[in-house]
Structure 1
Amino acid sequence: MDIRILETIIAIASFFILRVGSIKSLARIQRKYDYSKYRIRPIQKSINLFIFVTLITVIIAIWGVQQANILTFITSFLTVVGIALVAQWSILSNISSAIIIFISHPVKLGQSVTIIDKEFDIKGQVSDIGLFYVILKTDTNEKVMIPNIIFLQKATKINL
């Protein structure tokens, strides 16, 4: 058996072990400090993304892809992403707004809110805060996607 296959299997197994370990650790932290599960979910997504990127990097190293090729790919990818973000300032502003909403906005996942608008108000429970949209689940079980920049700019009433 090729040693690279064994190393790849070990890397993938380590990925799943780390993923399960991080889920259990965050569950303990959630219980200990009485955090909402909605507050833990974005942190878990970030940890999973980091572990996955690390796994891909390790597998690339195991299979001996040349560093110059990896650097060329990463540079090309970041260039395309950078051009797309500069060409679409709204995308960049929505990503920035997502960070602001998550860190310093008083609205948390799971809370019921009303977005006050001059045409009509939107009422629902915050079910997800993504990079581009805040998703509200209405009383009629519909999902309303509101761009983060709009969510941040509009007056928001927190329903207690």
Structure 2
Amino acid sequence: MTAIILLTGVWGFKQNEIALFASTILTALGIAFFAHWSLLSNITSSILIFFNHPVKLGDFIKVLHKDYQYEGEVIELNYFFVYIKTVNNAIITIPNSHFFDKSFSVFDPKSDK
């Protein structure tokens, strides 16, 4: 910490610039920690699912969780939930943040599981 203060003095940063930078970093960290429990995490997770996950509409997936094992067709992806239609025609809604955290497998329902 002392080294950082010395370096900012050597580089010619002013005290108000350092305070602005520190408050910006602390604000971003606060939002990031709060977002884990809020709707913002679902929106962020939906963007990550859209761009990085190999799941798309019509895929048959199995969510692998020790307590709950969901299996069915992905029928909708939106900003807050992933909707899965099971073999029994039940609709399961999974929040995007939980869907993003859980392991799952994509499978072909016509082949052996």
Give me the TM-score of the superposition, normalised by structure 2: 0.62
Matched, 1:126 2:74: yes
Structure 1: gaps (5+ residues): 1-85
Structure 2: gaps (5+ residues): 1-33, 109-113
Matched, 1:104 2:87: no
2: CA distance, partners of 1:138 / 1:127: 10
Moved over 3 A (4+): 86-89
Change (3 A) 1:101 1:88: closer
- Displacement, 1:120? 2.5
1: CA distance, partners of 2:35 / 2:70: 30
Change (3 A) 1:153 1:93: same
In 1, are the aligned partners of 2:62 and 2:70 still within 8 Å (CA)?
yes
Give me the TM-score of the superposition, normalised by structure 1: 0.44
State the identity as a percent: 40
Which structure is higher in RCO with an 8 Å CA cutoff and minimum separation 6? 2
Number of equivalences: 75
Matched, 1:154 2:99: no
Matched, 1:91 2:66: no
Larger proportion of helix = 1
